[in-house]
Amino acid sequence: CVIRGETTHYDYVCGESARGLMDLSVREKLAIGYGILTVNTEEQAWARARLNRGDKGGDAAHACLAMVGLERRWRHPQ
């Protein structure tokens, strides 16, 4: 989770983390779910992390597993 502060550091962390994960995914041919919360307040972070209210990390994990399943089907069609 990255919470915006009073400096531009938030913008660098958000952008570079996304770029790093994308580069790793492409280079290693991996399915990587981007589950890093980028929010303005701690309240927003909790709202997006709670299992009963948003669970954005869980959503990213489900998307990643779906991508793995697709990759397996494409690689080994029946």
- Residue of 5, 9, 20, 42 marked catalytic: 9
pLDDT of residue 27: 96
Residues 6+ apart with CB under 8 A from 41: 3, 4
9 tagged catalytic = yes
pLDDT of residue 12: 95
Return left, alpha or beta for 55; rule: phi > 0 is left, psi -120 to 50 is alpha, else beta.
Answer: left
Summarize pLDDT for 23-66 with one digit per residue, the tens: 998 999 887 878 888 999 999 999 888 877 778 888 888 888 89
Domain 2-75 fold is: Rossmann fold (3.40.50)
Q: Locate all alpha helices (DSSP H) within the chain, ordered by sequence.
A: 9-28, 42-49, 56-75
